């Protein structure tokens, strides 16, 4: 579904991504792991067209490298940024409706669907987004992305700064989304979450992919964990 092939990216003269290659298949949950500064967030921003890529990025059999972000989104690729980027003065309902591609376009996801995934949204549907807790805002951002009916969503650090019980809710939400046939590329630092829900894992270090395998492969490879993941 998503294929990233020998992709490079730069911030000014800084060479951030240095020949990154990986793939995400239909309906998969794939985790992209690594320490801060490894290039994980840059990778998803590059895929989404927010950072100019050098190399080949294909989605559903068509090249998307070089396209504008809104054109990439319309092809069915969703992006949940690390900083959430909700509209604090708009209500929960308004934030969700902004995620729709078009009021007339058919979608697998409706307001009722996303409120069923996370009932808090129904209870707070007319509240301003700015009064929600950090965990609630994270749920709102994920559900707003679903309203655009993506075939794949890239979720950047969804559990960062959240209490343990909210982390478990986020995990459950991602699993429910995958059960509905949506593929997920998860950028995550918490190994427990990544190992529990991902089918395959990639580890990044210094702008490159340094490991690829299953959760069990990573559990059995102490050297990779010590060199590239553990603090």
pLDDT digits (tens, 9 = 90+) for 163-214: 888 888 888 889 999 999 999 999 988 888 899 999 999 999 999 999 999 9
Nearest to 74 by CA among 62, 86, 87, 56: 62
Mind giving me the DSSP string for 209-223?
EEEEE-HHHHHT-HH
Q: What single DSSP character describes residue 128?
A: B
Angle among Cα 206, 212, 217 to the nearest 5 degrees reads 125
User: 50: burial class by Cβ within 10 Å (0-12, 13-18, 19+)?
Assistant: middle
User: 72: burial class by Cβ within 10 Å (0-12, 13-18, 19+)?
Assistant: buried
Average pLDDT, the chain: 92
CATH architecture of 2-88+149-228: 3-Layer(aba) Sandwich (3.40)
- Indicate the pLDDT class of residue 158, thresholds 50, 70 and 90: confident
Residue 89 in tokens: 């003065």
pTM over 0.85: yes
Nearest to 43 by CA among 83, 73, 9: 9
Report whether 29 contacts 42 (CB < 8 A): no
Q: In what order do the strands lie in the sheet with 62-63?
A: 14-24, 2-11, 53-59, 62-63
Could you give the CA distance from residue 146 to residue 153 in angstroms, rounded to a whole number? 8
- Residues above pLDDT 70, as percent of the chain: 97
pLDDT(109) > 70: yes
- Residues above pLDDT 90, as percent of the chain: 69
φ/ψ (deg, to 5) at 71: -70, -35
The pLDDT, as a whole number, for residue 103 is 60
Q: How far is CA 126 from CA 89, 130, 133, 220, in A?
A: 11, 12, 15, 48
């Amino acid at each position: 579904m998503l294929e990233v092939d020998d992709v490079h990216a730069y911030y000014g003269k800084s060479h951030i991504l240095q020949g990154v290659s990986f793939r995400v298949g239909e309906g998969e949950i794939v985790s992209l792991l690594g320490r801060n500064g490894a290039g994980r967030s840059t990778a998803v921003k590059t895929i989404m067209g927010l950072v100019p890529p050098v190399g080949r990025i294909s989605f559903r059999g068509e090249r998307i490298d070089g396209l504008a972000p809104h054109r990439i989104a319309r092809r069915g690729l969703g992006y949940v940024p690390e900083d959430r980027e909700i509209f604090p003065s708009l209500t929960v309902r308004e934030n969700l409706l902004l995620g729709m591609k078009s009021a007339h376009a058919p979608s697998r996801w409706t307001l009722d669907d996303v409120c069923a995934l996370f009932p808090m949204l129904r209870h707070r549907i007319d509240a301003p987004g700015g009064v929600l807790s950090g965990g609630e805002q994270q749920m709102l951002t994920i559900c707003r992305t679903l309203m655009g009916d993506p075939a794949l969503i890239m979720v950047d650090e969804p559990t960062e700064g959240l209490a343990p019980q909210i982390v478990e809710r986020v995990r459950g939400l991602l699993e429910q989304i995958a059960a509905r046939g949506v593929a997920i590329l998860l950028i995550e630092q918490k190994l427990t979450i990544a190992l529990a829900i991902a089918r395959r894992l990639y580890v990044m270090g210094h702008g490159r992919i340094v490991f690829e395998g299953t959760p069990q492969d990573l559990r059995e490879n102490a050297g990779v964990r010590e060199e590239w993941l553990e603090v």
